[in-house]
Amino acid sequence: MQIRRFYSPQIPVIDDTLLLPESEARHALKVLRLRPGERLLLLDGKGTIAEAELLDSDRTGRTAPCRILSRTLHPAPSPQFRLYVAPPHGKGFDLLLKAATELGVTQISPILCRHAVSKPESVSENWQNVLIAACKQAINPFLPQLDQPAEFKKALENASETSFFGAVPDSHANPLLPKLHTASNLALWIGPEGGFAPDEEKGLLLAGCHPITLGHCVLRVETAVPALLGLIHGLLKAPENL
């Protein structure tokens, strides 16, 4: 059976003990009914993954103390990948957050675009929980940073990535691959289902974004995210960029 995974923002050194966060402890004890002595995998979302052993609970039966058996610090992903995306409505954003986490995106910045149907004012706790669950599922050592939603124009003004792609119609033959490969941080901008407004598209191109598209069909945002991330990885893998 697969070892169960838990999120713990702090992971102590080997042989030290910690208490799982309350919701994780409840899941371990009440839902999964794990017993003392069982092995767990702990992720701190900051690069460390540890193996731990569940110890005896106290008399309340509500805490889950663990002893660290081993721990590994993973190197930060390179290049860092930031996703600027107009949140789709409903469950679409959850699917998108999951896919981005599985594919190693390091930062997710919701942008408020003119043609967007959904314009959330702040990050919901549920989104954070989706990201944590996705990290555990994907065994991703790095929890993506989720920013507060920002107006498109403000987000573009503040963007500092050295190379970035935009899901806008492609008038050029190819993005500038050699330049990309040396970039230590990349960004991908994806608009709402209705697409970027003309002035948003113009702003992206003026700021130097590489336009990318995939196929001839209308893509839902939750498909565009994994497909375009894959496309960029493919462009970066091209032999002259290795």
Catalog residues that contact its own copies under the rule CB under 8 A: 95, 98-99, 101-104, 137-140, 173-174, 177, 214-220, 223, 226-240, 242
Q: Would you say 33 and 68 are in contact if contact means Cβ atoms under 8 Å apart?
A: no
Nearer to its own copies, 31 or 173 (CB): 173
Smallest distance, its own copies to C-beta of residue 192, A:
14
Smallest distance, its own copies to C-beta of residue 45, A:
13
The single residue listed with the structure tokens 């702003």 is 203
Nearer to its own copies, 112 or 188 (CB): 188
Nearer to its own copies, 198 or 234 (CB): 234
Smallest distance, its own copies to C-beta of residue 29, A:
25
Smallest distance, its own copies to C-beta of residue 188, A:
11
Q: How far is CA 123 from CA 109, 135, 142, 220, 224, in A?
A: 10, 18, 19, 21, 21
Smallest distance, its own copies to C-beta of residue 211, A:
12
Q: Would you say 165 and 183 are in contact if contact means Cβ atoms under 8 Å apart?
A: no
Q: Would you say 105 and 81 are in contact if contact means Cβ atoms under 8 Å apart?
A: yes
Q: Helix, strand or coil for residue 9?
A: coil
Nearer to its own copies, 53 or 102 (CB): 102
Nearer to its own copies, 150 or 219 (CB): 219
Contacts of 38-42 with CB under 8 Å at 24 or more apart are: 38/4, 39/3, 39/69, 40/3, 40/4, 40/5, 40/6, 40/66, 41/3, 41/4, 41/5, 41/6, 41/139, 42/5, 42/6, 42/7, 42/8, 42/11, 42/66, 42/68
Smallest distance, its own copies to C-beta of residue 93, A:
14
Nearer to its own copies, 64 or 86 (CB): 86
Q: Which residues pair with 52 in a beta bridge?
A: 40, 68
